[in-house]
Chains A and B, each alone.
Chain A
């Protein structure tokens, strides 16, 4: 089941009413969440429920073992390593098996003229496998590192792994944040639920109005990119940049808003990334849950930035190579990761990687010239990154970029019009950049009137109704 479907339109109110009116005790509410989440996930393909149950069961068991062997560090290491291996094995088989075989085949064919194509299999990639696997890993590591105690309640643990709002595309929650919320009694909070509903509405608007319409144009124009002018290619890149932002941050808004209806606080996943003044700042604001996951579980254990420069650069490349591979089993994703690794290494060498922790133009209405230039440069570098990301292969990405810098012409201005429509959304987000989402109204008297607020909601709903196109799935589901 996806958020932008009729099924979800019926599913959400039913689960909401059962949750608050029928299953009013914590244990029962957790059980309802597990059942609802499994229905939500199984709607797509019920067979993969076994996979998510297996992942959950292994991680739950490893937590109990880690607790049981408290003080025996060697056994604990074996248990946590075993669980990490099992989880990564499942992920590896379903996501990377064919990629591995294809590359091994090419290698063996070139060296010994021996082919391995008989080993390739038709494997369906389970939706969101990378997300829930990382969430399960975070639990094992956190228990091992004694950040949280192991849970003894299998229902609350299954609910933590499969919580339907964030199951298939994040935010990738940490056990330290989400699991304790399943262990506490939840009271209905009116203002939280209202704000959650608003955030969901804004998410749906971004997904259905901006992302899906951008996708229609990007998909139709990308197939003949070589015929477009430099300007057209740049605009197409910008359109994809808007599409992926509205698609993924739209999903995150819906997920966070939906979780708030049930009394949960999920971590913020996007914080106006396109208003960043540098690439490190961009990655502190884009897909925050994944970036911080890599930071905490890979970058820091490798030594982070508290070691000699050469090792810091190595760590950056390792993390971004893995991050690229996490996004997809293809070399162009790895190159995309390494592209950011290179940019971040440069910022690191210049010693400006930790600058800009506050929102741009904080306390001011407009940015200054320097900030405008910094934001423009960062945005351009991000567009280049998304072009590599969107391409079907690295060859296509290079060819696209070559055409973009050589087909010097200002044709294809029609694409510019769509970019202007998309930019209107960024305009709204600029004014709301210090809020969690654009529908957190400013403290103006105007917005204290309910008819004004309802008028805005109705306008957004009518726009969704008018501009909705054939339903497109979320881009990040494939990861």
Chain B
């Protein structure tokens, strides 16, 4: 028995020593922040960092990965600044980015929200929610700005409370999360945070535009049916805006897209949509 106790005691001591060193290493990793450029969702950390910079540009883009693709190669001389990243952060995440950008002291004159039609359905219930939303946003900087709807939704994600644990935060690990998909045209979280973005517009007085991304012809009928069937999900205060958004979608040949959503040539978008914006900027304007 003495040998057994000795083995257990030494094993526990080793585990303790290892745990302390391991914790220190992971805390150092968190402090270094290198993980922010290597993990899935690195574009979110990039957008968060950009949202906290003082910028003199007067046009701001927020949006999903299609919006990110359109404004990926803007130069320093360009008048546009982009915080577009990925739909997986939900409208709540986009609100945080815009809110931070404004709180940093930036005063854009025009804010363009560039989204693909399916992005509004995100209710923070996707398999990437852990990487893209929980890890970057579930911390003290953002938690007080989260609504009850968001908090309830987060609690459904397995191991949500561990997302800020140093080892998990800095690793590419995420729990398997594939909840039964509940279809929305406009999810409760999107409704709520679109209205919050709208209230930011009122507070800071910029022009706000909701601009649709190009979509492939193959989904036109599906899109129109979706719009008819699910319009009642949209908050009455947003219906007119969403209606104009749907009417404004340009449908292109399927061959223009690399994966059904993202364009092979993003210049197509800038030629079409920005051309329309120059002709009639009120077409997509919310306020």
Give me the interface of A with B, judged by CB distance under 8 Å: 20-21, 188-190, 193-194, 197, 454, 457-458, 461-462, 465
Contacts and interface: CB of A to CB of B under 8 A. Distances in A.
A465 B22 contact: yes
Interface in B1-22: 1, 3-4, 6-7, 11, 14, 17-18, 21-22
A458 B3 contact: no
Contacts of A465: 22, 167
Contacts of B4: 20-21, 188, 190
Contacts of A193: 7
B189 to A, nearest CB: 29
B218 to A, nearest CB: 28
B3 A188 contact: yes
5 contacts: A190-B3, A454-B17, A457-B14, A458-B18, A461-B22
B156 interface: no
Contacts of A457: 14, 18
A194 B7 contact: yes
B151 interface: no
A462 B25 contact: yes
B7 A188 contact: yes
Contacts, number: 27
Interface centre among B4, B6, B18 (most CB of A within 10 A): B4
Nearest to A191: B3
A189 B14 CA distance: 19
Interface string B67-92: 00000000000000000000000000
A458 B7 contact: no
A190 B7 contact: yes
A461 B1 CA distance: 29
A20 B7 CA distance: 12
Nearest to B10: A194
A190 B8 CA distance: 10
A21 B3 CA distance: 13
B130 to A, nearest CB: 14
Contacts of A194: 7
Contacts of A21: 4
B280 to A, nearest CB: 48
Contacts of B18: 457-458, 461
A470 to B, nearest CB: 8
Contacts of B3: 188-190
A454 B14 CA distance: 8
Contacts of B167: 465
Nearest to B6: A190
Contact of A462 (B11, B14, B17, B22): B22
A17 B18 CA distance: 21
Contacts of B6: 190
A462 B1 CA distance: 32
Interface string B112-146: 00000000000000000000000000000000000
A21 B7 CA distance: 13
Q: Give 10 closest A-B pairs by Cβ, nearest first.
A: A190-B3, A188-B4, A193-B7, A190-B7, A20-B4, A188-B3, A458-B18, A190-B6, A454-B14, A461-B18
Given A188-B1, A194-B7, A462-B22, 8 more contacts: A20-B4, A21-B4, A188-B3, A190-B6, A454-B14, A454-B17, A457-B18, A465-B167
Contacts of A461: 18, 22
A20 B1 CA distance: 9
A188 B6 CA distance: 11
Contacts of A20: 4
Interface string B165-204: 0010000000000000000000000000000000000000
A188 B11 CA distance: 15
Determine which residue in B3, B11, B17, B22 has the highest number of CB atoms from chain A within 10 A of its CB, and name it. Answer: B3
B18 to A, nearest CB: 6
Contacts of A188: 1, 3-4, 7
A457 B25 CA distance: 16
Contacts of B17: 454, 458
Contacts of B21: 458
Contacts of A190: 3-4, 6-7
Nearest to B17: A454
B169 to A, nearest CB: 14
Interface string B10-53: 01001001100110010000000000000000000000000000
Nearest to A187: B3
A454 B18 CA distance: 9
A34 B31 CA distance: 47
Contacts of A462: 22, 25
A453 B18 CA distance: 13
A459 to B, nearest CB: 10
A193 B17 CA distance: 20
A462 B14 CA distance: 14
Nearest to B13: A454
Contacts of B1: 188
A25 B53 CA distance: 68
A178 to B, nearest CB: 23
A465 B171 CA distance: 9
B15 to A, nearest CB: 10
A461 B17 CA distance: 12
Contacts of B22: 461-462, 465
A189 B1 CA distance: 10
